[in-house]
Amino acid sequence: MIAREDRLPPRLRRSIFAVTMVALAYVILAPLTSIDAAQQAGLPLLTDKVWFRIVTTVLMFVVLASAWNIVGGLTGYASFGNIAFFGLGAYTVGALVANRGWPFGLALLVAPIVPALFALVIGLPLLRLRGHYFAVATLGVGVATGEVVNNVGPLGASTGLFLPIVRSDLLFFYLMLAAAGLAVLTTWVILRTRFGYGLLAIRENEEAAAVIGVNTNFYKVAAFCIAAALSGIAGGIFAQWNSFINQELVFAVSDNVQMILMAVLGGAGTALGPVAGAVVLELIIQTLAGGGSGSVYSQIGLGILLAVCVIFIPRGVIDFFGGRSKLSLRYFRQTLRETSA
């Protein structure tokens, strides 16, 4: 799980870079063809409602997976409670817009603050725990936060909150794109700073990190807060985009597992791994769901996919780039043997 960027052979790197740039340009520019002016100029329409829904969802999971990666991938603390940050961000915007009549733009500025403060408060006791204990304690945070929100009258209790509808696929697409860019950039910057090396040191050996002068508590809580703020932004955008939120929608534990799977599948501990994982996995899930996510078959598909991925490619697809491992039957046999009884 060590960061393995910048080690690809130059030719492969160049071609991957080119492909990524083309894909990125398409994703950024294609929505513009839906503007009236472009339509009048006779440009072909490259996007429709389904396209916007799928791509915006993918971008949302890019934010969530990248945010999880800062805690789970870089610091080595497998959090199952990040969904609480997403939910709190969504409910912050929901409450401010629906109950107080704030404009969405202003409410969105508050969306990262509430989850970050929450992370600060729960981070101090929780980040003292390790392994299973941390994982399940955070799982409890996610479930319990959702349950409390579900019981609070002003937050709509079990009915949920309805926000005034804003019909602009373009707006939410670019907002989510900006959030995704921010999340990736944050990870990229962290990986190149003293702070990032401190986090990696904590992941590899916390005692040793403390001995060489890493203020482990401060570093861990800071990473937790950054992840919370990023997830909160995604939640805030989601609240207005969907114009309806309730506990089931924004505190779904299965979404938390999805972000973990994306980060792990793509390559935890790298800046671009979670992005690759989010894109690939969310597209697979959307295909399985056949448009209506949450169907029984997509759940079965996701469950089996989870099992197959963690058994056969535990180091993520990023392991196949750079010539260390080749995608082959032997690789699968090898990973299987490493972990089998």
Partner 1 sequence: MSQFIQQVILGLLLGGVYVAVALGFSLVWGILNIVNLAHGALVIVGAYVTWALFTRWHVDPFLSLPVDALVLFVIGYALQRGVINRLIRAPLLFTFLLTFGLNLVIVSLLLLIFTADFRSVTTTYSGSGLELGNVTIPYIRVGGLAVALVLAGILWTILNRTRIGAAILAVGADRDAAQLVGVDLRHIYALTFAIGAAFAGVAGGIISTFQSITPTAGDPYTLQAFAVVILGGLGRVSATVAGGLAFGLIEVLGQSAPWLGSGYANAIAFVVLVVVLVVRPRGLLGRLA
Please report how close the Cβ of residue 41 comes to partner 1 at its closest, in angstroms: 47
d(CA 237, CA 105) in angstroms, rounded, equals 10
Q: Which helix (H) or strand (E) holds 295?
A: none
Per CB under 8 A, 2 contacts partner 1: no
| Residues composing the chain | 341
Per CB under 8 A, 150 contacts partner 1: yes
Per CB under 8 A, 128 contacts partner 1: yes
Name which position in 5, 110, 140, 283 contacts partner 1 (CB under 8 A).
140
Per CB under 8 A, 154 contacts partner 1: no
Check if the beta carbon of residue 221 is closer than 8 Å to that of residue 124.
yes
Per CB under 8 A, 297 contacts partner 1: yes
Per CB under 8 A, 144 contacts partner 1: yes
Using the minimum distance from each CB to partner 1, give the nearer residue, 213 or 292.
292
Burial of 257 (0-12, 13-18, 19+ CB in 10 A): middle
Name which position in 129, 171, 178, 249 contacts partner 1 (CB under 8 A).
129
Using the minimum distance from each CB to partner 1, give the nearer residue, 93 or 260.
260
Burial of 244 (0-12, 13-18, 19+ CB in 10 A): middle
Per CB under 8 A, 310 contacts partner 1: yes
Please report how close the Cβ of residue 124 comes to partner 1 at its closest, in angstroms: 10
Q: Which stretch binds partner 1 (CB under 8 A): 57-65, 273-281, 284-292, 309-317?
A: 309-317
Alpha-carbon Rg for the chain in angstroms: 20
Per CB under 8 A, 153 contacts partner 1: no
Integer CA distances (angstroms), 317 to 77, 103, 105, 113, 325, in order: 21, 42, 37, 34, 10
